[in-house]
Chain A
Amino acid sequence: MNSMKKLFSVPFICFILCGTIVPMGVIAYYGLTDREGLFTLKNIMEIATVDHAKALGMSLLLSFLATTICLILAFPLGLILKDSKLGKKGFMVFLFILPMWMNFVLRTMAWQVLLEKNGILGGLGIINTPTAVVLGMVYDYLPFMVLPIYNALVKIDNSVIEAAYDLGADYKRVLFKIIVPLSVPGIVSGITMVFVPSLTTFAISNMLGGGKVNLIGNIIEQEFTASANWNLGSGLSLVMMIFIVISMALIEKFDRNGEGNMI
Chain B
Amino acid sequence: MALIELINLSKSYDGEKVLDEFDLSIKENEFITLLGPSGCGKTTTLRILGGFTKPDTGRVLFQGEDITQLSPNKRQINTVFQKYALFPHMNIAENIAFGMKISGKTQSYINDKIKYALKLVNLSGFEKRSVDSLSGGQQQRIAIARAIVNEPRVLLLDEPLGALDLKLRQEMQYELIRLKNELGITFLYVTHDQEEALTMSDKVVVMNKGYIQQMGTPEQIYNEPENAFVADFIGDSNIVDGIMMEDRVVKIFDHIFPCIDEGFGKKKPVDVVIRPEDIIIGKVGEGIMDGEITSNVFIGVHHEMCIEAGGFEWVAQNTKSYPVGTKVSIDVLPENIQIMNKPQSEDEEAISLEEVLGEENIGEDNE
Binding site for B on A (CB under 8 A): 157, 159-160, 162-170, 173, 177-178, 181-182, 259-260
Asked if residues A165 and B72 are in contact (CB atoms below 8 Å), the reply is yes
In the complex, whether B78 has a CB less than 8 A from a CB of chain A is yes
Asked if residues B73 and A181 are in contact (CB atoms below 8 Å), the reply is no
Nearest CB in chain B to that of A161: its residue = B85
CA distance A166 to B86 in the complex (A): 12
Residues of A within 8 A of B82 (CB): 159
In the complex, whether B217 has a CB less than 8 A from a CB of chain A is no
Nearest CB in chain A to that of B96: its residue = A167
Partner of A162, one of B52, B86, B89, B103: B52
Identify whether the interface residues of A are mostly helix, strand, loop, or mixed: helix
Partner of B81, one of A163, A177, A178: A163
Asked if residues A167 and B99 are in contact (CB atoms below 8 Å), the reply is yes
Asked if residues A166 and B83 are in contact (CB atoms below 8 Å), the reply is no
CA distance A159 to B84 in the complex (A): 8
CA distance A181 to B89 in the complex (A): 7
Asked if residues A162 and B72 are in contact (CB atoms below 8 Å), the reply is yes
Extra pairs beyond A167-B78, A167-B146 (18, CB < 8 Å): A159-B85, A160-B87, A160-B88, A162-B81, A162-B85, A163-B85, A163-B146, A164-B87, A164-B98, A166-B50, A166-B52, A166-B78, A167-B147, A167-B150, A168-B103, A168-B150, A170-B73, A182-B88
In the complex, whether B168 has a CB less than 8 A from a CB of chain A is no
Nearest CB in chain A to that of B150: its residue = A167
CB-contacts of B87-120 with A (<8 A):
87-90, 94, 98-99, 102-103
Q: A162-B52, A162-B72 are in contact. Are A167 and B88 (CB under 8 A)?
A: no
In the complex, whether B71 has a CB less than 8 A from a CB of chain A is yes
In the complex, whether B79 has a CB less than 8 A from a CB of chain A is yes
Residues of B within 8 A of A159 (CB): 81-83, 85
Partner of B72, one of A166, A178, A181: A166
Q: Which 7 A-B pairs have the closest CB atoms?
A: A167-B99, A163-B85, A159-B85, A165-B72, A168-B102, A159-B81, A166-B79
Asked if residues A169 and B87 are in contact (CB atoms below 8 Å), the reply is no
CA distance A217 to B71 in the complex (A): 53
Residues of B within 8 A of A181 (CB): 89
CB-contacts of B54-76 with A (<8 A):
71-73
Q: A162-B52, A182-B88, A182-B89 are in contact. Are A169 and B102 (CB under 8 A)?
A: yes
Asked if residues B85 and A169 are in contact (CB atoms below 8 Å), the reply is no
Asked if residues B89 and A168 are in contact (CB atoms below 8 Å), the reply is no
CA distance A12 to B185 in the complex (A): 61
A160, A162, A168, A260, most chain B CB atoms within 10 A: A168
Residues of B within 8 A of A178 (CB): 87
Nearest CB in chain A to that of B47: its residue = A162
Nearest CB in chain A to that of B81: its residue = A159
Asked if residues A160 and B85 are in contact (CB atoms below 8 Å), the reply is yes
